[in-house]
Structure 1
Amino acid sequence: MALNPATWLPVPTATTAVSGPYATALTAQEPGASTLLPLLAGTAPTDTARKYPMRPYSVLRNSFNVFGWGVVQNPSGNSVSLGVRSQDVLSTTQAIAGLTYDQTERTGAVFGGLSYQGQYPVLDADVTYGGRDAARYIDRARGPAQPLDSLRRDQWRYTRLTAGLRLPLTLTRSKYLEALTLSSYYLHERVSDYDLPVRSRSEPGPNRPVHAVQTTLSYARQLRLSARDVAPRWGGSLLLTSRLTPFGTGLDARQWAGQGSVYLPGLAKHHALRLRAGYQWQQQRQYQFAAAISFPRGEGYVSFDRLRAASLDYYLPVAYTHWSVGRWLYVQRIRANGFLDVAQGRSVGISGERDYRNVGLDTSVLFNVLRLRTPLEAGVRVVVNTYTQELIVEPIAFSIRL
């Protein structure tokens, strides 16, 4: 219809409270209405007002307010956490404690974190105790004809203290979710049981901690998901990571990495295509930082000095089932994801390069249990290594391999 302000009718200003049989009946049903309504109107007796005295609010005494628990997936898609969350009524102090699982190295950890968000920048601190699982080639350059045949894998434990600043900027407008975050953290890490063969005596031990600074810049912009979408149909993200040991004490290591993703519409409604590429450069003569980019699915993580990786994913819904089994189980949908992962790794002083080219299919089910509002997702992943023709089958949860 035509927009003509001259035809608009003014709404009269309400001068009296709403009355009538329906409003009166509903007001009378409110718990505590007989006490609170006179108090708010200023007509309550003096003894009633004394029950609600005014006093200063202590931010410190009211910092912890546990409000829920659940599963949270890392935006990078490489880890998932199960924890208990706390947030005060002013939304200035947040805390979380729980368990986390990293899909790249297939390791778990226990963590606890505290974040003060009353002012900019945000102050974060957390403590993590968990495991690492990584491999390195220890071949030496003996000529191009010599293949890589000396892969050594090691598992070790670590205790990490992280503290620093984060500047989160929410740039969301209209139907696109948009955010830019800059962060810088100090990392103090102690390790044990790190006994990788052919390593320097100065590598990690109980008395040789890691003192590092981690700086990240992340940007993401994506179209809001509809109820039937299984992935964003438009959008992109960028993550830049720097890990350095600039203090001149403890162990020495350096790592720089960048990874970007682009989401595009698929061939049919609610389908989506993701293109992802990343590059990681590091010096790891004394220590191996965790991966900063995604590693090919179906493979154990190998720590290379130079790593190039790319992937193509196609997401599609298989069926919107809406099955229910009493109060115990409600299955919302079944989805699939076909993917191709390629990567090339190389280390300084090592003869040759290692190439990866894996294709696979994820099939997962989104469901609720015991009428909990938070949905869960689980399924199976089938991966084929096109170089070795090896078939790998593994369970997944939240698109994370277990």
Structure 2
Amino acid sequence: MIYPASFENEAQKVASQLEFLRKRVSATLGKEPRKISIILQNQTVESNGNVQLAPRRSEFYTTPPQQGDFQDWLNNLAIHELRHVAQFDKLTGYLRAPFFEQLALAIYGVTLPSWFFEGDAVVSETVLSPAGRGRLPSWEMPFRTNLLSGRTYSYQKDYLGSLKDLTPGFYELGYFMTARMQRVYGADIMDSLMTRMARLPIRPYNFSNSLRKFTGYNTRRWHEQTREELTALWRKQLAENNPIDYPLLPPKTTDKPENWLLPRPLSDQRIIALHQGAQHVSAIMVMDSLGRQKEVIKTGRQTEPNFSYAAGKVVWDEVRRHARYGKRSYNVINLYDLESRSYHQLTRKSRYFSPALRPDAHRVVAVEIDESNAISLVVIAVPNGEVVARYPSPGNILLQTPAFDPTGTKVIATGVAQQGTAIVELDIPTGNYRFMLDWQSQQIERPTYADDEIAFKAHYNGIDNIYALNTATGAIRQCTNARFGAFNPLVDVVSNQLWFNSYQVNGYRISKVSWNETRDLATQKTSASHISYFKPLLRQDYAYRTTDTPETVILPSKPYKGLKNLINFHSLSIDNGSFDNLDAINPGVYWLSDDLLNTAQLRLGYTYDGDIRSSEYLASIAYQRFFPKFSLEYRNRGQVGTARVIGNGQEQLIGLHWRENVTTLKIDIPLVFYRINHVFTTGVSAATSYTQRYGLTEPRFQNQFIERVRFPMHYQFYFNHQVRQSALDLAPRWGQHFSVTYRHFPFENRLKGAHLSLRSAFFFPGLWRNHSLLARFSYQQRNGMYQITNDIPLVSGYDQLRPVPVDNTLLFSYRFPIAYPDWSIGPLAYIKRFKGGLFADFQNVDSETPFQPRTFGVELRSDMNLLRFYLPNFDIGVKLVYANEANPRQRFFATYSIGYSY
């Protein structure tokens, strides 16, 4: 286990948990996980985890979330990720370093659908802990809402998702499908399935074939069986709860998913809320009683949706990343004044979460989580951002979503520990904490003061609803009885209204009810009869289930030697390890080395070019620990060329072959900056090389043959700015990209030449929502050795046109969505979106040339998943090109393209 020294105490706890859980997690797979390196990432503010091969390691992102289940974050993480380790070892554990880890990873990814291995891990985290996502009604709510609303989607749509509808996602779908397997056929079915798959990993449709053998159902039919069972269970529960349908704001919404979160009434009868939507980026909005909306300010990326309003001011938190190191991030607080319409970033390089304004807006309270996972409430002054006071959490329990009382002297918050959740109050004058509600097996969220009560969200009746805690008696009463779920309560004492979010089939809407009326609601169930859908779907009597907390055994630790562990060969590969771009794939045989901290990559490779019948040998190393990135590469390769010979009055072309040694050094400094909904990327790079040529096949040209090319220089500078995209945007609504590249031979006498290129791109909003207009202008100036080199984007179909030297290009494209069909073409493809475009490409634009496109036309593209794989997402399309010039090779022709993303 590798971790910063400041994280020693937490690392010891994690080590004890892992050792305690190791055999329990793997019991139903019959395969105890072997050793794996675990990196504790404590410098990022995001909460996550992963297990990977090539190289074999696991990463725990240790900062706990502000919204999760009711247990210690690292305990949940340890169970979930350790189950993935057991899955890897069960299916492909015999394929190991130093040669076969990438092959093992490929077999794992091709054989197991994502819903299976993630759903199985969620089952484990639920079985092996008193909490887990399988016990959260909020987690399965989108799936439940769809089924109860009559939206029974296909297997591929529920699994692979949709751009126009809310679907459960593969974690949720996988939990219910794998849980049902274990309930119906016993927990040992996981062992049986994966054992059969491991014996013949190349079997076509291995998982579905094996599932049919043991259950009689393929994946599509098993999805239908699970869906039918869940529908019956949830309909029964809905009838028992006898829910109330509350009024909804806005009264009309788009047909695409959108959320109106954390509603807060203003003094002028308007409502302020955080708006999220498939068609829009996140923004704080105000809405009047008729549903008319006005944007206040767009927001940036958040770890959890959050904002707070008081006295004409708004605060919210956002993620900021270190300019150079992506896994070092911060959570800052932003402030916006509605009266002056001014924005101000209140804190910098901070780790503050869920900020809340005091009623007079002169102070902000927030949760602070430092890099050692020490938890505190901090009080921050407005507007200078200074910390006025810091109150360490009692027992270092996790605190979530604090809120001031009307006097500004007390703060209420959710407390989370392995015992469950509680409601904790801080008395600011004394600095003392007290528990207002003791530990509960509940997902308690966003407690807020309501006269002599505290309103909060919980799920005592099996559905997320708003409850109230009487601070004098400790009694809990139910305040809402929502059909699908109620969240984010706020009691407005002026109007005596309870405002909250009511979940609907297309997202979260705003509802309200008289606070007095909530007292007349008959509570459906008490905490003693807590409902968890884990119970009806999976039996509780597994021998390996435990809720015990392991004692921390102090294990020896020592400094990690980065240089000693720099070389870590793990895989033979057909590529150099980068599959980001289809054009960059260069098939061959490569031996890959990556150190565990992702700072050094070493590649040894061999390829054969059949076009020129020549071998190529490669060795490269990249080192990323320092502020600049360094890469050094050596290639020994064959080359071909032609020589023009004139004899007897005739011209003859003679083919030439030679080999060359090329050593290349590159230094790169990439930087990224965030500012609310704006993203800036910039960077500089410099590269040089040394080439030594030998083995010319025609000795008579030896005098003209250049045997050495000494240190040609290549420089690049780029600057990009764009606003965040919504889920349905085809491109940023606004953006500017600039790049300057220069190449020359400053150290050569025989070789001369220079190449200067400037590239730019400008994004504009289209005529309708999610449309995009892109204008690109590029210019190049070249001479000498670079006379025929093109380093700028060319017009569409350039290789089908008459060759003409290119000095500049001006390219226009307008793209727009056409339809969101969610079509399944059997198991071959699942099409999420069709999109179209128009383009006009100009070349060598100047004052003397008629301003007319050299090519123009239309394009049709589609976003899809292939062969039921969740990733990658493919973008496949065709361009119909019209050549607008005299005597072209072809007047009309088509070009095709395929791209993919993860």
Q: TM-score range by the shorter chain?
A: 0.5 to 0.7
CA distance in 2, matches of 1:96, 1:120: 22
- The alignment partner of 1:172 has SS state of strand
For residues 44-83 of structure 1, the aligned pairs below 5 Å read: 44=553, 53-60=556-563, 61=565, 64=568, 71-73=579-581, 80-82=583-585
Give CA-to-partner distance per residue, 1:112-149, whole Å, 9 cap, x none: 86432211111123467999999xxxxxxxxxxxxxxx
Offset, 1:80:
3.8
Matched, 1:38 2:551: yes
1:49-198 matched pairs, under 5 angstroms: 53-60=556-563, 61=565, 64=568, 71-73=579-581, 80-82=583-585, 88-94=595-601, 114-126=621-633, 161-188=663-690
Name the structure 2 match of 1:297: 796
What are the superposed Cα offsets for residues 92-131 of structure 1, whole Å, 9 maximum, x if unpaired? 23568999xxxxxxxxx99886432211111123467999
How far does the alpha carbon of each residue in 1:199-254 deviate from its partner, in whole angstroms, 9 at most, with x for none?
A: x998776x354641100001111122222111221101001000011112563221
Q: Judge conservation of contact 1:322–1:331 (CA < 8 Å) in 2.
A: yes
Is the alpha carbon distance of 1:298 and 1:216 closer, same or farther for their aligned partners in structure 2, counting shifts above 3 Å?
same
Give the drift of 1:63: 5.1
In the superposition, the TM-score normalised over structure 2's length comes to 0.33
* Corresponding residue for residue 808 of structure 2: 308
1:113/1:220 CA distance change after superposition, 3 Å = farther
Structure 1 letter corresponding to 2:551: P
Residues 114 and 193 from structure 1, CA distance in 2 versus in 1: closer, same or farther, beyond 3 angstroms? same
One-letter code aligned to 1:221: H
Pick closer, same or farther for the CA change 1:175–1:53 going to 2, 3 Å.
same
Structure 1 stretches of 5 or more lacking a match?
Answer: 74-78, 100-108, 135-151, 195-199, 347-351
Indicate the residue corresponding to 2:879 in structure 1. 381
User: Cα distance 1:132–1:292, how it changes in 2: closer, same or farther (>3 A)?
Assistant: farther
Whole-angstrom CA distance in 1 between matches of 2:617 and 2:738: 28
- Equivalent of 1:10 in 411, 414, 437: 411
Match of 2:898 in 1: 397
- Counterpart residue type for residue 368 of structure 1: N
Find the counterpart in structure 2 of residue 197 from structure 1: none
Letter matched to residue 374 of structure 1: P
Structure 2 partner of 1:366: 863
For each residue in 1:308-331, what CA deviation from the matched residue of structure 2 results, as whole angstroms up to 9, or x when unmatched?
A: 211111011121122224554221
User: Is 2:759 the counterpart of 1:252?
Assistant: no
1:279 aligned residue: 779
Going from structure 1 to structure 2, the CA distance change for 1:111 and 1:15 (only over 3 Å counts) comes to: closer
Aligned-partner residue type, residue 892 of structure 2: L
Q: Quote the Cα distance in structure 2 between the aligned partners of 1:192 and 1:336.
A: 51
Pick from 334, 339, 360 the counterpart of residue 839 of structure 2: 339
Cα displacement (A) at 1:165: 1.1
> Retained in 2: the 8 A contact 1:243–1:254?
yes
Q: Would you say the 8 A contact 1:296–1:356 is kept in 2?
A: no
Instruction: State the TM-score, normalizing by the size of structure 1.
Output: 0.68
Letter in 2 for 1:394: T
Instruction: Give the aligned partner of residue 236 of structure 1.
Output: 736
Give distance in 2, aligned partners of 1:98 and 1:365.
Answer: 35
Shift of 1:156: 9.7
Measure the CA separation in 2 of the matches of 1:314 and 1:133: 41
Give, in whole Å, the separation in 2 of the partners of 1:231 and 1:133. Answer: 41
User: Corresponding residue for 1:266?
Assistant: 766
Aligned in 2, Cα 1:53/1:246: closer, same or farther, shift over 3 Å? Answer: same
SS where residue 580 of structure 2 aligns? strand
- Structure 1 pair 189/111, CA: closer, same or farther in 2 (3 Å)? same
Change (3 A) 1:12 1:223: closer
Structure ranking higher in strand proportion: 1
What's the offset of the Cα at 1:342? 1.0
Q: Tell me: CA distance 1:380–1:129, structure 2 relative to 1, closer, same or farther (3 Å).
A: farther
Q: Give the deviation of 1:291 after TM superposition.
A: 2.1
- Find the aligned partners of 2:876 and 2:726 in 1 and give their Cα distance: 21
Distance 1:14 1:395, change over 3 A: closer
| Inter-partner Cα distance in structure 2 for 1:155 and 1:34 | 74
| Larger Cα-atom Rg | 2
- Does structure 2 conserve the Cα–Cα contact (< 8 Å) formed by 1:156 and 1:191? no
Please state whether the residue corresponding to 2:551 is helix, strand or coil: helix
Query: For the residues of structure 1 that align with 2:692 and 2:704, how far apart are their CA atoms?
Result: 11
Deviations 1:158-215 (A, max 9, x none): 8754312111121222222211111111134578999xxxxx998776x354641100
C-alpha contact 2:710 2:747 (8 A) present in aligned 1: no
Identify if the C-alpha distance between structure 1 residues 312 and 62 changes in structure 2 by more than 3 Å, giving closer, same or farther. same
CA distance in 1, matches of 2:735, 2:872: 25
CA–CA separation in structure 2 for the residues paired with 1:359 and 1:156: 40
Contact 1:160 1:189 (C-alpha < 8 Å) held by counterparts = yes
More helix by share: 2
**1:10 aligned counterpart, secondary structure:** strand
The 8 Å contact of residues 810 and 845 in structure 2, kept in 1 or not, is answered as no
Counterparts of 2:796 and 2:811, CA distance in 1: 10
How many residues end up aligned between the 2 structures? 342
Counterpart residue number, 1:139: none
Cα 1:356–1:21 shift into 2, 3 Å: closer
Q: Could you list the runs of 5+ residues in structure 2 that have no partner in the other structure?
A: 1-263, 265-308, 311-358, 360-403, 421-438, 443-531, 535-540, 607-615, 642-652
- State the superposition RMSD in angstroms: 4.8
Classify the secondary structure of the residue corresponding to 1:38: coil
Comparing 64-73 and 219-228, the one that deviates more: 64-73
Shift, 1:34, TM fit: 9.0
Alpha carbons of 1:13 and 1:337: their partners in 2 closer, same or farther (altered >3 Å)? Answer: closer
Tell me how far apart the structure 1 counterparts of residues 668 and 726 of structure 2 sit (CA, whole Å): 30
Question: Would you say the 8 A contact 2:880–2:895 is kept in 1?
Answer: yes
Residues 1:34 and 1:127: Cα distance change in structure 2 (over 3 Å): farther
Change over 3 Å in CA distance of 1:168–1:70 after alignment to 2 = closer
